[in-house]
A and B are shown apart, each in its own frame.
Chain A
Amino acid sequence: AQSVTQLDSQVPVFEEAPVELRCNYSSSVSVYLFWYVQYPNQGLQLLLKYLSGSTLVKGINGFEAEFNKSQTSFHLRKPSVHISDTAEYFCAVSHAGNNRKLIWGLGTSLAVNP
Chain B
Amino acid sequence: SQTIHQWPATLVQPVGSPLSLECTVEGTSNPNLYWYRQAAGRGLQLLFYSVGIGQISSEVPQNLSASRPQDRQFILSSKKLLLSDSGFYLCAWNGLQTYEQYFGPGTRLTVT
Does B105 touch A at the CB level, under 8 Å? yes
Does A43 touch B at the CB level, under 8 Å? yes
Partner pick for B104 among A43, A94, A104, CB 8 A cutoff: A43
Question: In the complex, are the beta carbons of A100 and B99 less than 8 A apart?
Answer: yes
CB-CB under 8 A from A32, the residues of chain B are 99
Q: How far is the CA of A26 from the CA of B66 in the complex (A)?
A: 30
Partner pick for A44 among B94, B103, B108, CB 8 A cutoff: B103
| Segment at the interface with A among B13-21, B43-51, B69-77, B78-86 | B43-51
Question: In the complex, are the beta carbons of B49 and A106 less than 8 A apart?
Answer: no
Q: How far is the CA of A94 from the CA of B101 in the complex (A)?
A: 11
CB-CB under 8 A from A90, the residues of chain B are 44
When C-beta atoms are compared, the residue in chain A nearest to B104 turns out to be A43
Q: How far is the CA of A2 from the CA of B103 in the complex (A)?
A: 22
| Segment at the interface with B among A45-53, A63-71, A75-83 | A45-53
Question: In the complex, are the beta carbons of B49 and A41 less than 8 A apart?
Answer: no
| B contact face: mostly helix, strand, loop, or mixed | strand
Question: In the complex, are the beta carbons of A99 and B51 less than 8 A apart?
Answer: yes
Also in contact, A45 and B94, with CB within 8 A (given A100-B32, A106-B43): no
A59 to chain B, nearest CB (A): 11
Chain B residues with CB under 8 Å of chain A are: 32, 34, 41-44, 46, 49, 51, 57, 88, 90, 92, 94, 98-106, 108
Q: List 28 A-B contacts (CB under 8 A).
A: A34-B99, A36-B103, A42-B105, A43-B90, A43-B103, A43-B105, A44-B44, A44-B90, A44-B92, A44-B103, A46-B102, A49-B99, A49-B100, A88-B41, A88-B42, A90-B44, A99-B49, A99-B51, A99-B57, A100-B94, A100-B98, A100-B99, A100-B101, A101-B34, A101-B46, A102-B99, A104-B44, A106-B42
